[in-house]
Amino acid sequence: MLYKKHSARRISHLFAFLSIKAKVFRMYAVIEQGGKQYKIAEGDCLNIELADVSPDARTMELEKVLLINDDKKVKIGTPYVKDAKVIVSFKTTAEEAVVKGKKLYPMHHRRRKHSRKRIGHRQKYLQVVVDKIQA
């Protein structure tokens, strides 16, 4: 009985190892936008901070690229990679790409003063799709 448990475990580890080897490498980049850093690859959909974009725009260029990694080499910027940019697009237009985040309820409380205040906040984001990473 003990032998069967160990052999099943070895086989499952073998399949896990083979699935790791079969993964296809995708070029990725680390960008900075709105005071935050994002690790992105082509085809990724992500929510970024609101930016000044015309309402009828369909694409946007992000030029603050911190790192680019393709299969052969890694480019690390000081602080940004020269002549590198990421082209992102909106599903329709920039005006319709604005989505709302999770509702938060920060609370202010003064102890022993019978004073409480609850505030609601909902952050807005731009939902974008990464089209191309140019190095």
Q: Each residue's pLDDT tens digit in the chain (135 positions)?
A: 555 555 555 555 655 555 555 557 789 999 999 999 999 999 999 999 999 999 999 999 999 999 999 888 999 999 999 999 999 999 989 999 999 999 999 999 999 999 999 999 999 999 999 999 998
Residue 118 lies in a domain: yes
Residue 2 lies in a domain: no
What is the pLDDT, as a whole number, of residue 24?
72
What is the pLDDT, as a whole number, of residue 129?
95
Residue 63 lies in a domain: yes
Residue 4 lies in a domain: no
SS3 2: helix
Residue 20 lies in a domain: no
What is the pLDDT, as a whole number, of residue 26?
83
Domain that includes residue 124, residue range: 25-134
Q: Give the count of domains, the chain.
A: 1
Positive/negative CA dihedral, 46, 52, 56, 60: negative
What is the pLDDT, as a whole number, of residue 111?
94
Residue 76 lies in a domain: yes
What is the pLDDT, as a whole number, of residue 14?
54
CA distance 19 to 120: 45
Q: How many residues does the chain have?
A: 135
Residue 108 lies in a domain: yes
Residue 6 lies in a domain: no
